[in-house]
């Protein structure tokens, strides 16, 4: 998961003029001095440790005195003269913690992998005196992700609950991705893994394959019509194929054209009130002034009767992107991100609830309905048997109420699909890097039996095997191995966020951790902690791949996500002479990658924007995508 982490009022963005670093002369003692990041960003990005030391020096704390006075306060021996000293030191500590957090955000945005590599070369984790902890060592990351009662996903749950309706829904206030409370998690996990399971991939493979081929064919035809030999992977195949999965597998259909519907009374009861903002009390505003002093209008978090939206695939994509960013990327609780995320999530929920009622009516009439997650949950509710899918024993029917079905579908589509766009692009980019010789390769005798160094030529041939109906199952299985290794080397996201809830807990050789401390468990770094980390080796043990999480919170989409990556890879590799075009004069790699032919993310380093490759219109392009 990719995280945008900056403390409030501590953002440093080099891509535009919106600098939230306070200028000299501002005396607010809670605002850190981040002038080093702003004034000399290239130097700041040369070394994570050097920059952390500089930020701590620029935002000093007398730790010895703070420890002394805190000890006196705990024992009841603090004098009245020492009280203001202690408060000032606590403020300085908070200020330094904000500076450290801003430094993390700076590196996560512009140089995440060099930062993680620098930490990994020195220690298992980076633990500042004040501020969040970054964990990078493989087994240590896995340890954090296993200790779910000490390091919880509560930061996600606090946002998700704002879009749910526990007062109308037997107290259900979260989704399995955002809770570690066994009473909430275990039964929902059993329910959802019954309707989204390891037996489903064969049911959707051909659907996703045909969609990828169709979309690439459209892109080829558009390129030919304009006299171009370029394909932008993001809009062509990465962005909307996950929506096809959402439509046919999860049960959230996209209309050909966007439309509208009126919310019924119960939808207004669920979603008609305003949602509180970061403080949990004050409603999210409809106008807001940003750090640059610019005023903006924000969507109302309360839905009205005429606010129902029947989405096309672009609208579904925008809903999921906004909701995901609010739930999982918005550590600093940015108000506009919350406002757009809550609105999107409520519109999505209302639409899914409408679909639940449509499918339920059809089932009650005895009609045949599509087989998907939504209709499977409805059949559990209605006691309708399904071949190959068993209803969990002693199922609490409140867990399959109409509203709860809508909420679980929402959580699944947002959690499983939002990152797939970038993941698909990363896999294809990694295969192109393999073509370009970017990865290390040693002696084949030095790798375990059953493994081998990957090659672009082999990946291309495996793709053609599928298209020529030759060794199809074997070729797809091998391409799955290619996709997982590709995503290990070019991961989608850097870290998974946790919060320490046990005061005094430790990680590896850390100092005792204070409850409330945020933990960045870097799955991307953990996947580098193995033999020959910079080599593209096909057939590594699946235990090395953490792209879909680990243990309790492994993604529900773990079985179907590789299908999207493999089928997109097949379609792109079917293009004759697919390769990376040369960059153009004057294009920049700093502060963000902005070269033609390279995968480019947005200015926050969160979402794929464009990724252009070149191909020839002859040969396999004509064979598989011609008239």
Q: Give 8's pLDDT tier (boundaries 50, 70, 90).
A: very low
Strands (E), 477-597: 496-500, 518-521, 537-538, 576-579
Q: Provide the pLDDT for residue 27.
A: 60
Least confident residue range of 72-81, 82-91, 141-150, 582-591: 582-591
pLDDT per position as a tens digit, 81-98: 999 999 999 999 999 999
Distance between CA 36 and CA 440 in Å, rounded? 36
pLDDT per position as a tens digit, 430-446: 999 999 999 999 888 88
Distance between CA 237 and CA 94 in Å, rounded? 45
Q: Provide the pLDDT for residue 156.
A: 80
Helix (H, G, I), strand (E, B) or coil at 440: strand
Distance between CA 189 and CA 551 in Å, rounded? 12
Q: Give 488's pLDDT tier (boundaries 50, 70, 90).
A: very high
Count the Cβ atoms, other than its own, within 10 Å of residue 443. 7
Q: Provide the pLDDT for residue 167.
A: 84
Task: Assess contact for 312 and 254: CB atoms under 8 A.
Answer: yes
pLDDT per position as a tens digit, 156-204: 877 777 778 888 888 887 887 778 888 888 888 889 999 998 889 999 9
Region 128-138 average pLDDT = 96
pLDDT per position as a tens digit, 606-627: 889 999 999 999 999 999 998 6
Q: Provide the pLDDT for residue 19.
A: 43
* CA distances for 39 relative to 36, 525, 593, angstroms: 5, 29, 20
Q: What are the φ and ψ backbone dihedral angles of 476, each rounded to 5 degrees?
A: -65, -40
Q: Provide the pLDDT for residue 10.
A: 54
Residue 17: left (phi > 0), alpha (psi -120 to 50), or beta? alpha
Q: Provide the pLDDT for residue 14.
A: 61
Distance between CA 492 and CA 366 in Å, rounded? 43
Distance between CA 176 and CA 184 in Å, rounded? 8
Task: Assess contact for 546 and 523: CB atoms under 8 A.
Answer: yes
23, pLDDT greater than 70: no
Q: What is the dihedral of CA 116, 121, 125, 130, to 10 degrees?
A: -80
Task: Assess contact for 102 and 56: CB atoms under 8 A.
Answer: no
> What is the residue-averaged pLDDT of the chain?
91
Residue whose C-alpha is closest to residue 218's, from 236, 197, 199, 205: 236
Query: How many residues appear in the chain?
Result: 627
DSSP notation for 515-542: TT-EEEE-HHHHTTSSSSTTB-EET--G
Q: Give 17's pLDDT tier (boundaries 50, 70, 90).
A: very low
Region 15-44 average pLDDT = 72
* CA distances for 250 relative to 185, 189, 413, angstroms: 20, 16, 7
Q: How far is CA 547 from the centre of its chain?
A: 10
Q: Give 1's pLDDT tier (boundaries 50, 70, 90).
A: low
Distance between CA 158 and CA 178 in Å, rounded? 8
Least confident residue range of 188-197, 230-239, 474-483: 188-197
Least confident residue range of 413-427, 461-475, 492-506: 413-427
């Amino acid at each position: 998961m990719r995280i945008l982490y900056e403390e409030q009022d501590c953002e440093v963005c080099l891509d535009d003029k919106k600098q939230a670093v306070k200028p000299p002369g501002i005396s607010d003692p809670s605002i850190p001095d981040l002038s080093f990041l702003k004034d000399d960003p290239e130097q700041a990005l040369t070394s994570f440790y050097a920059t952390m030391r500089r930020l701590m020096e620029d935002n000093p704390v007398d730790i010895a005195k703070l420890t002394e006075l805190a000890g006196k306060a705990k024992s009841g021996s603090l004098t009245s003269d020492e009280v203001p000293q202690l408060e000032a030191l606590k403020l300085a500590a908070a200020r330094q913690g904000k500076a450290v957090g801003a430094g993390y955000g700076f590196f996560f945005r512009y140089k995440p992998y060099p930062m993680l590599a620098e930490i990994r070369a020195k220690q298992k984790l980076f633990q500042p005196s004040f501020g969040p902890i970054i964990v990078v060592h493989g087994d240590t990351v896995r340890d954090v992700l296993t200790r779910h009662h000490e390091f919880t996903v509560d930061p996600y749950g606090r946002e998700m609950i704002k879009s749910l309706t526990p007062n109308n829904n037997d107290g259900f206030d979260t989704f399995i991705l955002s809770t570690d409370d066994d009473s909430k998690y275990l039964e929902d996990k059993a329910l959802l893994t019954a309707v989204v399971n390891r037996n489903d991939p064969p049911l959707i493979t051909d659907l996703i394959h045909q969609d990828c081929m169709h979309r690439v064919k459209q892109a080829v035809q558009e390129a030919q019509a304009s006299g171009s030999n370029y394909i932008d992977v993001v809009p062509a195949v990465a962005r909307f194929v996950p929506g096809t999965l959402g439509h046919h597998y999860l049960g959230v259909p996209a209309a050909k054209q966007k439309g509208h519907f009126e919310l019924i009374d119960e939808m207004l009861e669920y979603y008609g009130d305003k949602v509180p903002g970061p403080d949990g009390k004050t409603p999210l505003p409809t106008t807001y002034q940003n750090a640059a002093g610019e005023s903006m209008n924000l969507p109302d978090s309360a839905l009205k009767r005429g606010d129902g939206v029947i989405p096309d695939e672009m609208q579904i994509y925008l809903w999921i992107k906004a909701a995901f960013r609010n739930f999982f990327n918005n550590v600093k609780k940015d108000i506009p991100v919350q406002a757009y995320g809550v609105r999107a999530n409520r519109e999505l929920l209302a639409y899914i609830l409408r679909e639940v009622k449509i499918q339920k009516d059809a089932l009650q009439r005895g009609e045949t309905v599509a087989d998907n997650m939504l209709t499977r949950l409805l059949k559990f509710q209605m006691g309708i048997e399904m071949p190959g899918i068993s209803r969990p024993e002693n199922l609490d029917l409140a867990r399959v109420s109409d509203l709860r079905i809508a909420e679980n579908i929402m959580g699944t589509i947002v959690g499983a699909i939002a990152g797939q766009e970038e993941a698909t692009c990363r896999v294809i980019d990694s295969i192109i890097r393999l073509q370009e010789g970017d990865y290390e390769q040693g002696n084949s005798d030095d790798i375990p039996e059953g493994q081998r160094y990957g090659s672009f030529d082999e990946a291309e041939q495996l793709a053609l095997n599928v298209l020529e109906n030759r060794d199809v199952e074997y070729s797809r299985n091998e391409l799955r191995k290619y996709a997982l290794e590709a995503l290990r080397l070019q991961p989608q996201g850097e870290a998974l966020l946790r919060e320490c809830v046990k005061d005094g807990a430790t990680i590896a050789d850390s100092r005792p951790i204070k409850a409330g401390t945020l933990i960045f468990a870097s799955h991307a770094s953990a996947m580098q902690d193995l033999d020959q980390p910079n080599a593209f080796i096909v057939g590594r043990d699946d235990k090395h791949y953490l792209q879909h999480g680990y243990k309790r919170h492994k993604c529900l989409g773990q079985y179907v996500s590789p299908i999207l990556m493999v089928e997109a890879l097949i379609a792109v590799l079917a293009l004759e002479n697919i390769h990376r075009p040369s960059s153009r004069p004057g294009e920049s790699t700093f502060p963000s990658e902005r070269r033609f032919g390279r995968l480019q993310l947005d200015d926050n380093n969160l979402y794929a924007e464009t990724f252009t490759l070149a191909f020839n219109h002859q040969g396999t392009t004509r064979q598989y995508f011609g008239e």
